[in-house]
Amino acid sequence: MKNHTIALDHGSGGLLSHELTEKIMLPAFDNPVLSRLDDSAVIESQKGRMAFSTDSFVVDPLFFPGGNIGDLAVNGTVNDIAMSGAVPLYLSAGLIIEEGFAVRDLETIIASMAAAARQAGVSIVAGDTKVVPPGAADKLFINTSGVGWIDGDLEINAANARAGDCVLLSGTMADHGMTILNQREGLSFDADVKSDSAALNGLVARMLSVAPDGIRVLRDPTRGGVATALNEIALASGTGIQINESSLPVRKSVSGLCELLGIDPLYAANEGKLIAIVDRACADAVLTALRQDPLGTDACIIGQVTADHPGRVVMETAIGGRRIVDMLTGGQLPRIC
């Protein structure tokens, strides 16, 4: 591209828009459905149930240790689809770019989207780019939507949790949330933290292969963290969830940062972890399968579903006490003292 920054004309639908698509998007996302450049992508359908999800990404900063907004936007939607047990296949990507954005940064982000899509085995088959005047958007926003198909009569949803089931977490908590917080507002503590942004569909496939009938609920605990996801499951299923503080995996560096900033890691965002509610009979097999995957090496059983305190999550603390783990209200604000 001749220009070094994005101009309003790059979103006008005219020559510069065409150049942006031809030079940056098409080579990166390279697939026959997209390259037809028709008004809509035409994809082969399977009979049966389809999972469909959408998510918008406005993360600030755009680049952070462990990823950028591009791979986050692909992985986020892939994971939302995968959490229903579906195999994600096709994504769309809508970009809203603030005028003046560096073309080089855009190229890096698009390359990350393409790499994440390849890694997840999905194709980005439809897209749109708009450019808005300075101040009308903050640098770059990305929306991705996606579809996937659900095999057979698989039923994975939050209402399925039953008393006696085990609660599994695929790895450490709060890596993404604390990385972003550490980068933001010049708050760069010299901490060894990085985002866990990753596509989880491979992990889900592995779990389903060992326990096709034993996976009751899958959730990726993004905003609101593990605590909020568990509360949603407890409310949807009318069960209680009991977790053990000493089983909760948190990296030392992340836990240190949380202590320093007064943030509870249970409420911080994850972008490459899943919670699985699993039939107790299959729990060991699923755990072993999780741990065999590089994305699940720190997987563990963090608690169980119970008939007690329906709709509530209760934690046995490390010192042997008990407390409620509530939904997040508002954002977590840094403490005053």
Partner 1 sequence: MEHTHHYRDGRLCRRLAEQIASMCAEDIRIMEVCGTHTVSAFRHGIRTLLPRSLSLISGPGCPVCVTDQAELDAFIEIANMPDTILATFGDLMRVPATGSSLQKEKAKGKDIRMVYSTMDALDLARANPERQVVFAGVGFETTAPTIAASILAAHAESLRNYSVYCAHKRVPPALDALMHLSGIEIQGFLLPGHVSVIIGEQAYAAFFEKHRIPCVIAGFEPADMLYGIGRLAEMIASGTPGLENAYGRAVSEQGNLRARQVMDRVFETTDALWRGLGRIADSGLAIGEEFADFDAARRFCVNVRPAAAPAGCACGEVLTGRCLPPQCPLYAGVCTPAHPVGPCMVSSEGTCAAYWKYNRLSDGWGK
Residue 304: φ, ψ to 5°: -145, 160
Of 255, 284, 293, 298, which lies in the binding site for partner 1, with binding defined by CB under 8 A? 255
Closest C-alpha among 5, 1, 18, 331 to residue 184: 331
Considering the complex, what minimum distance in angstroms separates the CB of residue 184 from partner 1? 10
Considering only 89-97, 194-202, 250-258, 290-298, which stretch makes contact with partner 1 by CB under 8 A?
250-258
Does 259 bind partner 1 (CB under 8 A)? Our answer is yes
Considering the complex, what minimum distance in angstroms separates the CB of residue 320 from partner 1? 5
**Spatial separation of the C-alpha atoms in residues 136 and 124, rounded to whole Å:** 26
Please spell the DSSP secondary structure of 28-49, one letter per residue: HH--HHHHT--SS------SSE
Span 265-324, contacts to partner 1 by CB under 8 A? 309, 312, 314-324
Considering the complex, what minimum distance in angstroms separates the CB of residue 54 from partner 1? 25
Residue with tokens 């596509």: 199
To 10 degrees, the CA torsion angle through 267, 271, 276, 282?
-140
Considering only 48-56, 86-94, 122-130, 255-263, which stretch makes contact with partner 1 by CB under 8 A?
255-263
Q: 309 — alpha (psi -120 to 50), left (phi > 0) or beta?
A: left
Question: What amino acid occupies position 43?
Answer: I
Of 39, 44, 185, 190, which lies in the binding site for partner 1, with binding defined by CB under 8 A? 185
Does 238 bind partner 1 (CB under 8 A)? Our answer is no
Of 252, 281, 292, 297, which lies in the binding site for partner 1, with binding defined by CB under 8 A? 252
Does 187 bind partner 1 (CB under 8 A)? Our answer is yes
- Spell out the alpha helix ranges (H) of the chain: 15-20, 26-29, 32-35, 69-82, 103-120, 175-183, 201-210, 225-237, 252-261, 283-291
The nearer residue to partner 1, 128 or 326, going by C-beta atoms, is 326
Of 39, 45, 294, 337, which lies in the binding site for partner 1, with binding defined by CB under 8 A? 337
Q: Are 168 and 233 in contact (CB under 8 A)?
A: no
Considering the complex, what minimum distance in angstroms separates the CB of residue 249 from partner 1? 15
Closest C-alpha among 281, 275, 282 to residue 325: 275
The nearer residue to partner 1, 58 or 285, going by C-beta atoms, is 58
Q: Which residues bind partner 1 (CB under 8 A)?
A: 185-187, 246, 252, 255-256, 259-262, 264, 309, 312, 314-324, 326, 329-330, 332-337
